[in-house]
């Protein structure tokens, strides 16, 4: 990237905004600006930092608009790299924010009592994750740091599957695709042209699917069902939250590759249990990650644990593994 926010047209009246993400281990995030009446509606709003803040202003000026022209923000999900700047647009310019009800619930929990939030994570890491007290300290600290980024204003519009966004020109329908987050949606144009797919299908990365105390059991099962829902969508081009646009012909093969990745990981996790029962934390430490666990930061280690747990929950739902609970969950081959 040359600057903190790059802008390029991707269709008539639609621009792709690629925005720098200084933290969170990501290179960049994509938001999209859609011309609507005299103004603009954004699909996602990017990571909030002084650089992206000023960069968004300059990017919109380059297409003859200002921040004040943004009348609303449609969110594909409530992760901070997508939600970040939405609050500012509402505070300063009165833009509405729309989010699926399941992610709105998640946000309400994150915005609630700080102590309760941290305690919920601490308990989950110990009981479900099986993380011993000495390892839990760092993971809890990482949770506290992340929660500070997550404190964002609640949405003005809370919607469900099939909701049609209040745009004047483009008819965009929300398709609920839970998995990457419980309230993740794709916004699909009724004319079959564009699909905004958020982090549901990414061209280069495998979307992170994490279990945790704030999501219901088996997010990976939900995700795989959501992938099946998106595979055969009509459309010309699909615009993701990270990376380049996905042409229609590339969508089904990309979905297939992501499915294959998870099936391989499900097999690897099952194979690791052949030696006897283990906690999710023990399996996370044994898993052959590209980068060793010892070299990962605490947030990445927590993320790895949440991913392994998501795979265990999916295997449990399929009847391949079972859990034994005695204060701490241990997993065993069923």
Query: Is there binding between residue 219 and Zn ion (CB under 5 A)?
Result: no
Nearest to 95 by CA among 65, 125, 55: 65
- Give yes or no for a contact between 204 and 240, defined as CB atoms under 8 angstroms apart: no
Closest distance of CB 113 from Zn ion, Å: 24
Map residues 225-244 to x or -, x wherever contact with Zn ion holds by CB under 5 A.
Answer: ----------------x---
Nearer to Zn ion, 210 or 309 (CB): 210
Contacts (CB under 5 A) with Zn ion, residues 234-293? 241
Give the 3-state DSSP-derived string for the chain, with helices as H, strands as E and coil as C.
CCCCEEEEEEECCEEEEEEECCCCCCCEEEEEEEEECCEEEEECCCCCCHHHHHHHHHHHHCCCCCHHHEEEEECCCCCHHHHCCHHHHHHHHCCEEEEEHHHHHHHHHHCCCHHHHHHHHHHHHHHCCCCCHHHHHHHHHHHHHHHHHHCCCCCCEEECCCCECCCCCCCEEEEECCCCCCCCEEEEECCCCEEEEECCCCCCCCCCCCCCCCCCCCHHHHHHHHHHHHHCCCCCEEEECCCCCEEHHHHHHHHHHHHHHHHHHHHHHHHHHHHCCECHHHHHHHCCCCCCHHHCCHHHHHHHHHHHHHHHHHHHHCCCEEEEECCCEEEEEC
Distance CA 308, CA 269 (A): 8
Closest distance of CB 260 from Zn ion, Å: 21
Nearer to Zn ion, 66 or 206 (CB): 206
Query: Is there binding between residue 302 and Zn ion (CB under 5 A)?
Result: no
Nearer to Zn ion, 155 or 241 (CB): 241
Nearer to Zn ion, 106 or 312 (CB): 106
Closest distance of CB 184 from Zn ion, Å: 8
Nearer to Zn ion, 79 or 90 (CB): 79
Interacting stretch for Zn ion, rule CB under 5 A, among 72-80, 224-232, 278-286, 298-306?
72-80
Closest distance of CB 51 from Zn ion, Å: 18
Residues 6+ apart with CB under 8 A from 101: 158, 159, 160, 183
Nearer to Zn ion, 70 or 75 (CB): 75
By the 10 Å C-beta count (0-12 exposed, 13-18 middle, 19+ buried), 22 is classed as exposed
Query: Is there binding between residue 48 and Zn ion (CB under 5 A)?
Result: no
Nearer to Zn ion, 65 or 79 (CB): 79
Name the residue with the smallest CB distance to Zn ion. 79
Closest distance of CB 29 from Zn ion, Å: 5
Closest distance of CB 168 from Zn ion, Å: 28
Nearer to Zn ion, 122 or 200 (CB): 200
Nearer to Zn ion, 215 or 321 (CB): 215
Closest distance of CB 237 from Zn ion, Å: 19
Closest distance of CB 38 from Zn ion, Å: 30
Query: Is there binding between residue 46 and Zn ion (CB under 5 A)?
Result: no
**Count of residues that bind Zn ion according to CB under 5 A:** 4
Closest distance of CB 82 from Zn ion, Å: 6
Contacts (CB under 5 A) with Zn ion, residues 188-217? 199
Contacts (CB under 5 A) with Zn ion, residues 74-93? 79, 81
Q: Which residues form the interface with Zn ion (CB under 5 A)?
A: 79, 81, 199, 241
């Amino acid at each position: 990237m040359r600057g903190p926010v790059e802008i390029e047209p991707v269709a008539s009246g639609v621009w792709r905004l690629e925005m720098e993400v200084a933290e969170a281990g990501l290179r960049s995030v994509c938001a999209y600006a859609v011309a609507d009446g005299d103004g603009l509606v954004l699909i996602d709003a990017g990571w909030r930092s002084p650089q992206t803040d000023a960069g968004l202003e300059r990017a919109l000026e380059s297409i003859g608009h200002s921040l004040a022209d943004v009348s609303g923000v449609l969110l594909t999900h409530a992760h901070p790299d997508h939600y970040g700047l939405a609050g500012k647009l509402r505070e300063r310019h009165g833009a509405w924010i729309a989010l699926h009800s399941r992610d709105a619930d998640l946000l309400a929990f994150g915005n609630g009592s700080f102590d309760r939030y941290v305690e919920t994570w601490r308990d989950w890491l110990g009981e479900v994750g099986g993380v011993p007290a000495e390892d839990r300290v760092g993971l809890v600290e990482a949770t506290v740091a992340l929660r500070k980024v997550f404190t964002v204003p609640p949405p003005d519009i809370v919607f469900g599957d099939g909701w049609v966004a209040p745009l004047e020109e483009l008819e965009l329908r929300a398709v609920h695709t839970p998995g990457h987050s419980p309230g993740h949606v794709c916004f699909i144009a009724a004319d079959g042209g564009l699909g905004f797919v958020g982090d549901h299908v990414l061209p280069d990365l495998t979307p992170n699917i994490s279990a945790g105390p704030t999501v219901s059991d088996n997010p990976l099962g939900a995700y795989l069902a959501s992938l099946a829902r998106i595979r055969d969508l009509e459309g010309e081009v699909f615009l993701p939250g990270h990376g380049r646009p996905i042409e229609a012909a590339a969508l089904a093969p990309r979905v297939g590759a992501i499915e294959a990745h998870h099936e391989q990981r499900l097999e690897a996790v099952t194979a690791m249990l052949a030696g006897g029962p283990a906690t999710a934390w023990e399996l996370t430490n044994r898993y052959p990650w590209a980068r060793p666990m010892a070299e990962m930061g605490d947030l990445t280690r927590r993320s790895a644990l949440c991913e392994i747990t998501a795979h265990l929950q999916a295997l449990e739902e399929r009847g391949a593994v079972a859990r034994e609970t005695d204060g701490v969950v241990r997993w065993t081959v069923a």
